[in-house]
A and B are shown apart, each in its own frame.
Chain A
Amino acid sequence: MMQLRITENVHNWLFSVMPEGVASIVEMVLIAVVYLTIFAVAGLFLVLLERRVAAWFQLRIGPNRVGPQGLLQTMADAIKLLTKELTGTERADKFLYNLAPYFVIITALMALAVIPFSAEFHAFDINIGLFFLIAISSIGVIGILLGGWSSNNKYSLIGAMRSGVQTISYELSVGLSLLTMVVITGSLQLSEIIEIQKSGWLILQGHIPAVIAFMIFMISGTAETNRAPFDMVEAESELGAGFHTEYSGMKFAYFFLAEFINMFIISAIAATVFFGGWLSPFGITESIPELGVFWFLLKTMALVFLMMWFRWTFPRLRVDQLLTLEWKYLLPINLVNIVLMALLVWLNLTIRL
């Protein structure tokens, strides 16, 4: 009830001291500030986590110098990047070149808005939540395309083109695998999807097709975020740094942070749609709703870890194999899977507790 009280109290207090219009604006600004903070903190934390996890996979220690246990390492990196000179190529398209990082970061922020952290901690609960997420996540690629094209570097251009190909293909799988789950829920609204899962997480309710959908979602989600083994866009051993070769300083950091936030978002969607979001397992902490954030983050982080595990184990695919995987394997399986799920729902074979 504590959480509820904080948001509601703030809301009530704001509306009591100011006229309605002003209060709404102030509230929006407050929410924006809160989300920006989440963005920054989550981004920095995820970078640190990635480096730590990578180190442990690789028999290393990882960052351990700045701050206790190296916790401030990414903060120090961010400060370093802030103070670095912003360089660029001479004949770059300056306007698009400067615009590109913001494209990437704004889409990441927008997607963050509809993620339900807990029952109350949910900034923007629209009824087309899932659809919104799918739509937004495909805008991010425009930033990458712009950045790659406008920096007037052949490596960047190749990276950007690869990114375009990749995102257009994997968009389908992301959408279809989520659609498979929508067949069960019958709703696109994220809060409602979670509500339905009170009678069992969707991955249990939909059992076989849901597991397949989850696997496809994780694969294509990894591809959507351009992470290894699908990091065709950066492919450091092939393209140097890919689309952000010519970016430096904070502009580079935007791309970098956005990648990690996107990873967080993909994991958060998976946690929400397949693993019941902020719901506790078997309802063990149903009486304490403020633990919702904890459960949500726990599930998300577990999935983030899975994505990191992929990254630090697998070799990279080649660009044509990437497309083969999508069009020859994921897409047909996905289509069959939707039919299977529809049959399941029609014949009432879903498992409900």
Chain B
Amino acid sequence: MSYFSEIYKGIKTLLTGMSVTGKYFVTSRKGAITQQYPDNRDTLKMFDRFRGEVIMPHNEENEHRCTGCQKCEIACPNGTIEIIWDRGIDEATGKKKKKIDQFIYHLSMCTMCGLCIDVCPHDAIKWGQNFENSVYDRSTLTRVLNKPGSTLMQGVED
């Protein structure tokens, strides 16, 4: 008798399983989890904290907040950030002062750990939400974050 009850139970569990998938078959067109990525570009918005790439915001006067303290360069585990700096003369005080020449960011080496942004004392660098970083040439992943001719924002260091 256990032979038949086993068959009965077996078939019952199979039908239970089929009812689960069957339910989704009927309702899935509403609840499809697929995101049709390149088509939904307009509506696709990443979260504010999403770590896409490191960017350096500039204001309208082409000024950034980076003093060239190199804390980020030290904090980075992979050597992603390289700061080439210079000593310029501060026009206001006439003293020699450190300023960045190039803030080089190797996106191809970045692990998005966030230590550089965490350590930055002046909020000069931030996370960008762009994640479409595929390129044909690897060298284009090495970026200079400060725009040409940009200068340090007034009052950052004080």
Residues of chain A in range 51-65 having any CB-CB distance to chain B below 8 Å:
53, 55-61
List residues of chain A with CB within 8 A of the CB of B36. 61
Contact A309 B21 (CB under 8 A): yes
Contact B32 A57 (CB under 8 A): no
* Interface: A285 (CB within 8 A): no
Contact B28 A57 (CB under 8 A): yes
* Interface: A313 (CB within 8 A): yes
Contact A59 B21 (CB under 8 A): no
* Interface: A327 (CB within 8 A): no
* Interface: A312 (CB within 8 A): yes
Contact B17 A56 (CB under 8 A): no
Interface string of B11-28 (1 = CB under 8 A from A): 000100110111011001
* Interface: A95 (CB within 8 A): no
Contact B7 A329 (CB under 8 A): yes
List residues of chain B with CB within 8 A of the CB of A58. 24, 28
List residues of chain B with CB within 8 A of the CB of A60. 28, 32-34
Q: Of residues B17, B20, B28, which shows the largest number of chain A Cβ atoms within 10 Å of its Cβ?
A: B28
* Interface: B138 (CB within 8 A): no
List residues of chain B with CB within 8 A of the CB of A61. 32, 34, 36
* Nearest-Cβ distance from residue A83 to partner chain B, whole angstroms: 25
Interface string of B28-40 (1 = CB under 8 A from A): 1101111010000
Contact B22 A59 (CB under 8 A): no
Given A56-B24, A57-B25, A329-B7: A314 touches B33 (CB 8 Å cut-off)? no
Interface string of A55-92 (1 = CB under 8 A from B): 11111110000000000000000000000000000000
Contact B32 A53 (CB under 8 A): no
Q: Of residues A61, A310, A329, which shows the largest number of chain B Cβ atoms within 10 Å of its Cβ?
A: A61
Contact A56 B14 (CB under 8 A): no
The residue in chain B whose Cβ has the minimal distance to the Cβ of A306 is B18
List residues of chain B with CB within 8 A of the CB of A313. 14, 17-18, 20-21
* Nearest-Cβ distance from residue A60 to partner chain B, whole angstroms: 5
Given A60-B32, A61-B32: A314 touches B24 (CB 8 Å cut-off)? no
* Nearest-Cβ distance from residue A312 to partner chain B, whole angstroms: 6
Distance between Cα atoms of A312 and B20 in the complex (Å): 11
* Nearest-Cβ distance from residue A211 to partner chain B, whole angstroms: 12
List residues of chain A with CB within 8 A of the CB of B33. 59-60
* Nearest-Cβ distance from residue A188 to partner chain B, whole angstroms: 30
List residues of chain B with CB within 8 A of the CB of A55. 28
List residues of chain B with CB within 8 A of the CB of A310. 18
Distance between Cα atoms of A310 and B11 in the complex (Å): 12
The residue in chain A whose Cβ has the minimal distance to the Cβ of B31 is A59
Of the candidates B7, B14, B24, the one whose C-beta lies within 8 Å of that of A59 is: B24
List residues of chain A with CB within 8 A of the CB of B20. 313
List residues of chain B with CB within 8 A of the CB of A53. 25
8 A-B contacts (beta carbon < 8 Å): A53-B25, A58-B28, A60-B32, A60-B34, A61-B36, A309-B18, A309-B21, A313-B17
